[in-house]
């Protein structure tokens, strides 16, 4: 977070009207919103700041991933909105609640100017994120030496995405209605000692329909298994975020019509989809699940 740059009366009034509802999470397509919830009737800012420090246990800042033990991500999402905020218009309001989960509780609700990000930052998934620059040196490990192309194919109608390193599978998919969108980036076909950050990129497929997801880590493997996705294969090896082992391409994951997962390596395309204007309203931002390399060199 940074210093307040402009208190906004309109955002304050919006916070006031919603704070009295005593909800622990708010989704707003036009503005960023976040809530700090206390299991007491205190309205002290010191107590809210202390609670915010407790909330950070649900979030991994470096990898931008939630680690909520109860499976609920509302606390994590609230915390992310506060810590990634980079200044701009803000308006907040407090409220005393006489509803569960406590006999007496309180909350601080804040609304943020969603589209304001300072120079060098982009708005991604309601957050102001640092615009990563390609790394030319060794950062958290060295770039893998045997990188192979990862092809992206998108169905012409459904827009579900398939990522593969196989030229044969690419040809088969093209013959069944998929469009060749070129190279998504480059990934490592195996583990390498020089880059200890490498993780398996796992392909999973939804049962009974053509939809694929690409995950790293046991928690996401379990998450999608619970959503009836089956393991397909290990596509290769990637890293969590840019700059690990000099990775310089981020994968952006969107959900189309609540059914099909769409992936793009283009920050510019992701910014357009995030506007949700026109037909882009069909797309919801999901995650930045992994990073890879722009070239094999």
pLDDT of residue 274 exceeding 80, the answer is: yes
Tell me the average pLDDT across 23-37: 76
What region, left, alpha or beta, does residue 245 occupy, with left being phi > 0 and alpha being psi -120 to 50 degrees? Answer: left
45 or 292, greater pLDDT: 292
The pLDDT tens digits of the residues spanning 116-163 come to 455 555 555 555 555 545 444 444 789 999 999 999 999 999 999 999
Tell me the average pLDDT across 75-80: 82
CA-angle at 274, arms to 268 and 276, nearest 5°: 125
Q: What is the pLDDT of residue 238?
A: 97
Q: What is the pLDDT of residue 288?
A: 92
Q: At residue 72, what are phi and psi to the nearest 5 degrees? A: -95, 135
The pLDDT tens digits of the residues spanning 8-19 come to 888 998 998 888
Q: What is the pLDDT of residue 201?
A: 97
pTM tops 0.75, yes or no: no
Q: Is 281 helix (H, G, I), strand (E, B) or coil?
A: helix
Q: What is the pLDDT of residue 118?
A: 54
Spell out the domain ranges in the chain. 4-130, 148-292
The pLDDT tens digits of the residues spanning 255-273 come to 999 899 999 999 999 999 9
Tell me the average pLDDT across 171-187: 97
At 75, the pLDDT band (50, 70, 90 cuts) reads confident
CATH class, domain 4-130, is alpha beta
* Burial per residue of 253-264, b for 16 or more beta-carbon CB atoms within 10 angstroms, e otherwise: bbbbeeebbbbb
**Positive or negative, the Cα torsion across 249, 254, 256, 259?**
positive
Q: Which residues fall within 8 angstroms of residue 217, CB to CB, at 6 or more apart?
A: 199
């Amino acid at each position: 977070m940074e210093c307040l740059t402009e208190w906004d009366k309109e955002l304050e009034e919006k916070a006031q009207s919603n704070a009295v509802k005593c909800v622990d999470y708010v989704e707003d397509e036009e503005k960023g919103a976040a809530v700090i919830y206390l299991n007491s009737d205190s309205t002290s800012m010191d107590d809210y700041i202390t609670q915010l420090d407790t909330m950070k246990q649900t979030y991994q800042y470096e990898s931008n991933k939630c680690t909520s033990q109860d499976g609920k991500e509302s606390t994590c999402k609230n915390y992310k909105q506060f810590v990634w905020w980079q200044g701009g218009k803000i308006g907040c309001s407090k409220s005393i609640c006489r509803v569960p989960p406590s006999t007496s509780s309180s909350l601080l609700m804040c609304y943020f100017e969603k589209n304001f990000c300072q120079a060098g930052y982009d708005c991604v998934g309601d957050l102001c994120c640092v615009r990563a620059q390609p790394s030319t040196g060794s950062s958290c490990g060295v770039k893998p030496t045997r990188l192979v192309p990862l092809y992206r194919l998108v169905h012409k109608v459904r827009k579900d995405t398939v990522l593969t390193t196989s030229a044969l599978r690419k040809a088969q998919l093209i013959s069944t209605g998929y469009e060749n969108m070129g190279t998504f980036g480059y990934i490592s076909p195996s583990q390498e000692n020089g880059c200890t950050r490498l993780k398996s990129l796992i392909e999973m497929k939804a049962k009974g329909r053509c939809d694929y997801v690409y995950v790293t880590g046991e928690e996401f493997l379990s998450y999608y298994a619970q959503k009836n996705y089956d393991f397909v294969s290990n596509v290769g090896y990637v890293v969590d975020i840019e700059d690990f082992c000099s990775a310089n391409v981020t994968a952006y994951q969107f959900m189309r019509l609540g059914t099909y997962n769409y992936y793009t390596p283009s920050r510019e395309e992701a910014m357009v989809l995030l506007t949700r204007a026109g037909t882009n309203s069909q797309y919801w931002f999901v995650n930045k699940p992994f990073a890879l390399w722009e070239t094999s060199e």
